[in-house]
Amino acid sequence: MTNNRTRDEFERGIMLFAFDNEAVDYIELASYCAKRIKQHLKVPVCIVTDNLKKAESFGVFDLYREINCFNNMPNLRNYTPEIVGQFNNHNRFWAQILSPFYETIVIDTDYMVCSDKLNVLWGCNKDFLIQTDSICVDGKSLNTKVSNSTIQSTWATILYFKNTEDSRRLFRLVEYIAYSWDYFREQYKIDTHVYRNDFSFAIALQIINGGIDDLSHYSIPMTMITSRDCDWLYEITDNSVTIDVNGKKIKVENEDVHVLHKQSLMDKLRK
């Protein structure tokens, strides 16, 4: 693990996790995401990766954390009908330990920042917040349960936390759930073998909440706009994203958008 600065040097900032696989160049995607963060949010960006040299070559990150990629289990994901890759997403529970900031926002590298709206989270009176409300670009709700018969899920696409004892306990619980995934997958009747941070954080919050399925105390106070993984990114500018939904072009302006179709996103950022 490489730490190039101490936690005390930065009050707040964004963390990105980026581990390349056979399908997606996540470090390149993180560099593009970091540029948009600096443009709109104007805060430092820390990347967590297993390839420090490559991350440094982009010259856009302020801080670096180099760790070995945690993948003690197969976690294959279909990125396209033709491309399958190891989804290296188990490391999110290390965010609290690795963060160089007192206040941290973790976002996925495919979350396209087009506004300064995430800045509203800084200085809030909560130790931990997570995204719980999401709609598609066409306005349809994307809120789901961990499984059909269990608890409400979260979107770990966006996490906010402070360096406090309460947040440390939560992240250690998520770590325990990740290492015991087969057990929790069976207990919560999860029908996919793909490990999802969305589910782990939802389970952890239910446990901390005394078994009550109520995420209102931990919910980020905004609705996340998301495109489905079958919706192509048609165009992206500094403050807008246009998504092709079944042939219909839907433009979202001055709102952040979670773009799930990574191949079309990569195509656009390389042009």
pLDDT tens column, 141-161: 887 888 766 788 999 999 999
Model pLDDT, residue 7: 47
CA–CA distance, 26 with 263 (Å, rounded to integer): 11
Please state whether the predicted TM-score (pTM) of the whole model is above 0.75.
Answer: yes
Residue 241 host element (H or E): strand 240-245
Phi, psi of 67 (to 5 degrees): -135, 160
Model pLDDT, residue 71: 58
- Residue pair 13/43 in contact (Cβ under 8 Å)? The answer is yes
CA–CA distance, 48 with 30 (Å, rounded to integer): 10
**Which sign, positive or negative, has the C-alpha torsion 177, 103, 44, 271?**
positive
Which three-class secondary structure string do you get for 141-169?
A: ECCCECCCCCCECCEEEEEEEECCHHHHH
Residue-wise pLDDT tens for the chain (271 aa)? Answer: 444 444 445 899 999 999 988 778 999 999 999 999 999 999 999 999 999 999 999 999 999 999 887 655 555 555 555 555 555 667 889 999 999 999 999 999 999 999 999 999 999 999 999 999 999 999 998 878 887 667 889 999 999 999 999 999 999 999 999 989 889 999 999 987 778 899 999 999 999 999 888 899 999 999 999 999 889 999 999 999 999 999 999 999 999 999 999 889 999 988 7
pLDDT digits (tens, 9 = 90+) for 167-185: 999 999 999 999 898 899 9
Model pLDDT, residue 144: 82
Side chain identity at residue 254, one-letter code: N
Which of 5, 13, 98, 89 lies closest to 48, judged by CA? 98
